[in-house]
């Protein structure tokens, strides 16, 4: 009888464990199904005021100082009043745009009553924005030859200007236009070929691709200078994304990687301007990123990908790197779980994340020391409360539950998640570099893949330089055209390339003849 009862107890315990496992599996399947539904039909934002109905309005007091500074990309707590004022040209168009005067005189300036000549007493002026679409033209470079009739000596002729592609039929400006359309505005070369055909110009897309490759070759040294500058900063962001590359030998597409290294000290008014460098690599391994950052020594702001953790090794040649992890990645886990389960417990975590972002909105744009002090006073208690909630919740969960998995992720990365409390230069998340992956994703969606490794390298060089120009508020074509002209002509030598970096660049003053010959 005793053996029977013991067997029944063991069977009951086994069934209980099995039921728990099945419930965990069902929860995972339901979460996956709800995630797909949210991707198709739901809001894609992580903002707490969208996810949680009661977070729609938070009384933050006077946020006038915040409104003039950029908010975090996925800031979830700043109220509508804290949004930046829309910058629109209402009532006046930019003064720097050229004006074309269209004067409309009356049919007659003779007085209808006395037939006398009327005099001007005033005028009405109304301005309207106009555009002149791209104009294709042919630059005919004429170099006269001169000889002496008296002594019949040598012939004198001006040297031919240097071209990006010797013997090519395109000017530097035309190639700059092709490149900026492709890598600043994500327009594939085959679509550009279609646009040009509408002007009666038939150019094969392989020809346009060769122009792109030539531009990347000329700009390779500038890219190296920009990457070196990025790695000279005390704090950088790093992220990676897939890059399909055609493998000619196999006739298939293989998945390589683009690693993005970025800087931006604007949130604390620091010295580093915004910039990004993309590096093409065949691997996503820890060895690859270790090689890229072989000589770097500073703070690295990253997500929780395991390849970065080896960089914190004390035995590293250049010294251990401090890893600051991304709070947004942790929050995203709880937001996704809440969308599928509506769990009140998960809601508590999201509210605490929202409190951190509310504090960050208040101090964005202030000095690093002020940010550190404010975080010690305001953010540290919130993070301690978050840690206590994580510690208290985990023992009460099934080890196989999704919430337990997210809590263990937080525990494993906790030191890097709270590093921002001690250093006012550090952001709470990695959103800066994540935003710089969107242009790669757009270009990848439009072009599908790079034609070969050389094409991927050209993509990385040109996307890095043009995206950085955009981050610094420059028109990509204007910057690229000027830079290419100055490099190709020899006006700027290799040892002076730093002056052409987007944050140092000043447009050259040229005569129209020089521009036309370019």
How far is Cα 38 from Cα 50, in angstroms, rounded to an integer?
A: 13
Is residue 352 within 8 A of residue 382, CB to CB? The reply is: yes
Taking CA 332 as the corner, what is the angle to CA 328 and CA 336, rounded to the nearest 5 degrees?
170
Q: What are phi and psi of 254, to 5 degrees?
A: -105, 160
Instruction: Read off the tokens for 157.
Output: 């002729």
DSSP 3-state of 145? strand
Per-residue exposure over 73-107, b if at least 16 CB sit within 10 Å of its own CB, e if not: ebbbbbbeebeeeeeeeeeeeeeeeeeeeeeeeee
How far is Cα 174 from Cα 481, in angstroms, rounded to an integer?
A: 9
CA 396 to chain centre: 41
- Sign of the C-alpha dihedral computed for residues 457, 461, 466 and 470 taken in this order: positive
DSSP state letter for 436 = T
How far is Cα 512 from Cα 153, in angstroms, rounded to an integer?
A: 33
The helix or strand, by DSSP H or E, that contains position 300, with its residue range, turns out to be: strand 299-302
How far is Cα 74 from Cα 357, in angstroms, rounded to an integer?
A: 9
Task: Show Cβ contacts of residue 203 under 8 Å, excluding neighbours closer than 6 positions.
Answer: 193, 196, 197
The angle, 0 to 180 degrees and rounded to 10, between the axes of the packed helices 205-231 and 172-183 is 70
Q: What are phi and psi of 116, to 5 degrees?
A: -80, 165
pTM, two decimals, is 0.79
> What pLDDT score does 167 carry?
80
Task: Show Cβ contacts of residue 175 under 8 Å, excluding neighbours closer than 6 positions.
Answer: 164, 165, 211, 212, 214, 215, 484
Q: What is the CA radius of gyration of the chain?
A: 31
For residue range 309-358, list pLDDT tens digits in order. Answer: 888 888 888 888 999 999 999 999 999 888 888 888 899 999 999 999 99
> What pLDDT score does 16 carry?
78
> What pLDDT score does 88 carry?
65
> What pLDDT score does 283 carry?
87
CA distances from 466 to 119, 219, 403, 449 (A): 54, 11, 41, 19
User: Taking Cα atoms as reference points, which of 266, 342, 208 lies closest to residue 68?
Assistant: 266
Give the up-direction half-sphere exposure of residue 63: CA atoms within 13 A in the CB hemisphere: 25
Residues of the chain with confidence (pLDDT) below 50: 54-82, 513-517
How far is Cα 360 from Cα 218, in angstroms, rounded to an integer?
A: 42
Bridge partner residues of 278 (DSSP): 260
Q: Work out the number of other CB atoms within 10 angstroms of the CB of residue 385.
A: 13
How far is Cα 44 from Cα 38, in angstroms, rounded to an integer?
A: 7
Q: What are phi and psi of 69, to 5 degrees?
A: -115, 150
Instruction: Read off the tokens for 75.
Output: 């800031």
Q: Work out the number of other CB atoms within 10 angstroms of the CB of residue 120.
A: 6
Q: Residue 270 class from Cβ within 10 Å (0-12 exposed, 13-18 middle, 19+ buried)?
A: middle
DSSP 3-state of 242? strand
Q: Residue 116 class from Cβ within 10 Å (0-12 exposed, 13-18 middle, 19+ buried)?
A: exposed
Is residue 303 within 8 A of residue 239, CB to CB? The reply is: yes
Is residue 59 within 8 A of residue 362, CB to CB? The reply is: no
- Sign of the C-alpha dihedral computed for residues 76, 77, 79 and 82 taken in this order: negative
Bridge partner residues of 236 (DSSP): 300
How far is Cα 79 from Cα 444, in angstroms, rounded to an integer?
A: 34
């Amino acid at each position: 009888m005793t053996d029977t009862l013991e067997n029944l107890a063991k069977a009951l315990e086994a069934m209980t464990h099995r039921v728990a496992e099945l419930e965990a599996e069902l929860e995972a399947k339901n979460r996956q199904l709800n995630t797909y539904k949210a991707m198709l039909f739901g809001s894609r934002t992580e903002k707490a005021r969208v996810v949680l109905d009661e977070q729609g309005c938070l009384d933050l007091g006077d946020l006038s100082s915040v409104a003039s500074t950029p908010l975090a990309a996925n800031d979830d707590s700043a109220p509508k009043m804290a949004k930046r004022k829309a910058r629109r040209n209402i009532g006046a168009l930019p003064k720097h745009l050229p004006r074309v005067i269209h004067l409309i005189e009356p049919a007659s300036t003779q007085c209808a009553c006395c037939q006398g000549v009327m005099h001007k007493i005033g005028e009405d002026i109304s301005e309207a924005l106009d555009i002149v679409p791209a104009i294709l033209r042919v630059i005919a470079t004429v170099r006269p030859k001169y000889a002496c009739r008296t002594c019949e000596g040598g012939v004198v002729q001006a040297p031919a200007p240097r071209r990006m592609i010797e013997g090519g039929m395109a000017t530097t400006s035309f190639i700059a236009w092709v490149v900026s359309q492709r890598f600043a505005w994500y327009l594939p070369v085959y679509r550009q070929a279609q646009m040009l055909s509408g002007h009666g110009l038939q150019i094969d897309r392989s020809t346009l691709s060769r122009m792109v490759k030539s531009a990347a070759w000329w700009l390779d040294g500038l890219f190296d200078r920009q990457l070196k500058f990025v790695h000279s900063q005390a704090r950088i962001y790093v992220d990676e994304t897939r890059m399909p590359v055609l493998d000619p030998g196999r006739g298939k597409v293989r998945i390589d990687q683009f690693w993005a290294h970025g800087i931006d000290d604007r949130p604390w008014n620091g010295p580093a301007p915004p910039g990004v460098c993309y590096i093409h690599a065949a691997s996503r391994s820890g060895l690859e990123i270790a090689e890229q950052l072989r000589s770097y020594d500073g703070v690295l702001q990253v997500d929780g990908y395991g390849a970065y953790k080896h960089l914190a090794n004390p035995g590293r040649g250049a010294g251990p790197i401090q890893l600051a992890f991304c709070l947004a990645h942790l929050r995203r886990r709880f937001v996704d779980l809440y969308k599928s389960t509506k769990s009140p417990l998960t809601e508590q975590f999201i509210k605490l994340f929202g409190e951190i972002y509310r504090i960050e909105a208040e101090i964005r744009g202030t000095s690093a020391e002020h940010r550190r002090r404010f975080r010690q006073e305001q953010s540290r208690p919130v993070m301690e409360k978050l840690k206590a909630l994580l510690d208290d919740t985990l023992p009460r969960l099934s080890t196989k539950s999704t919430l337990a998995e997210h809590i263990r992720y937080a525990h494993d990365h906790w030191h890097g998640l709270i590093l921002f409390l001690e250093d006012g230069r550090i952001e709470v998340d990695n959103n800066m570099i994540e935003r710089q992956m969107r242009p790669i994703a757009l270009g990848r969606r439009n072009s599908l893949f790079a034609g070969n490794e050389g094409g991927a390298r050209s993509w990385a060089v040109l996307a890095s330089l043009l995206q950085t120009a955009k981050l610094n508020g420059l028109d990509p074509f204007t910057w690229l055209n000027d830079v290419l002209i100055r490099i190709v002509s020899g006006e700027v030598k290799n040892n002076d390339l730093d002056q052409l970096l987007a944050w140092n660049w000043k447009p050259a003053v040229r005569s129209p003849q020089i521009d036309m010959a370019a």
